[in-house]
Amino acid sequence: MPIDLRSDTVTRPTPAMLEAMMTAKVGDDVFGEDPSINALEAMAARLFGMEAALYCPSGTMSNQIAIKCHTQPGDEVVCEKSAHVYVYEGGGIAFNSGSQVRALEGDRGRITAEQVSLAINPDDVHRARTSLVTLENTSNRGGGSCYSLEEIRRIKEVCTDNQLKLHLDGARLFNALVAREQTPAQFGQLFDTISVCLNKGMGCPIGSILMGPAVFIKKARRVRKVFGGGMRQAGFMAAAGIYALENNIQRLTEDHRHAQMLAEALEKKDFVRNILPVETNIVIFELEQGGCAREIAKELKERGILGHSISANQIRFVTHLDVSPAMIAQAVEIIEQM
């Protein structure tokens, strides 16, 4: 069995999570009658100190619902140029919301309050109406980089002063929380809406949660139905989510330690030119000779490690629940032998 470091989405439910799923109480969630879904939504809202929450099948759907609810056709959404909402959601902002993107060049996926401030269009009929800012924490293409709360506070201030909504794509927010010793409530206070993924480091087979004010979530529930995301006895999945929120957050520090170990092994290799600073569970490394990511990924695969070539000369490793300490030790040994 290869050591699968392509993504933290490849995890399979553990026996304990499966047990929680199999014993879940369920009902028809489109009727609002699934007790496990209702419990998960209440639990997430409470955790983040937000009014309400909505369970969605994927992080992409959570983000797209949020953008749809925050914008009108012809609006402009401000985000970083490598943001998942912009680059990896199939053109969803244009497709679903009829809005366009102002993509900013950030620092490892993170933008600043000054950049946001300069990107806001004036109230002029020639210009698109700037209505929404979305941040990504941790940043996927930024190599798992995290925002400081101070910078988010500054961005929030710009948004408040200019009547812009602030959405967080928190697909890997729990990684940031444990790495920076921040609390969910601190984020709940700063953002209008937050999406978090349960299907990544949290170890669930599917699922994401969108949180925000009660009136917003009511609207979001309607949009989820329109997008085809209204599910029936989804409580089996919610039970996995509840299990994950109760058991799988603190353990993310182990994934972060594993990512550090991989980076230390890679640092010594001649074929590696540069490694993005490892802050959480993602290791992105750039190769010495431009354009050979596929070749190196192929060699890694032959030796038993699966990585993801994310550009012509960059490979990404992601650590997760299904990568044990023994597997990391083995991966380090394989890298050392290359």
Ligand X SMILES: *Cc1c(COP(=O)(O)O)cnc(C)c1O
Residues near ligand X (CB under 6 A) are: 58-60, 63, 84, 136, 140, 169, 171, 197, 199, 208
The residue among 245 and 265 lying less far from ligand X, judged by its C-beta, is 245
- Whole-number Å distance between alpha carbons of 320 and 83: 21
Dihedral of alpha carbons 317, 322, 324, 327, sign: negative
Q: Which helix (H) or strand (E) holds 236?
A: helix 235-247
Beta carbon of residue 304, minimum distance to ligand X (angstroms, whole number): 25
DSSP run (H or E) holding 242: helix 235-247
Beta bridge partners of 75: 129
Strand arrangement, sheet containing 193-197: 52-56, 208-212, 193-197, 165-170, 129-136, 75-80, 100-104
Residue nearest to ligand X (CB): 59
Give whichever of 52 and 197 is closer to ligand X, judged by the CB atom: 197
Q: How far is the CB of 80 from ligand X (least distance, A)?
A: 11
Tell me whether residue 62 or residue 99 sits nearer to ligand X (CB atom): 62
42 to 52, 152, 209: CA distances (angstroms): 7, 25, 11
Q: How far is the CB of 136 from ligand X (least distance, A)?
A: 5
> Between 101 and 265, whose beta carbon lies closer to ligand X?
101
* Beta carbon nearer to ligand X, 136 or 192: 136
Q: Report in angstroms how near the CB of residue 177 gets to ligand X at its nearest.
A: 15
CB of 124 to ligand X, least distance (A): 32
Between CA 221 and CA 199 the distance in angstroms is 20
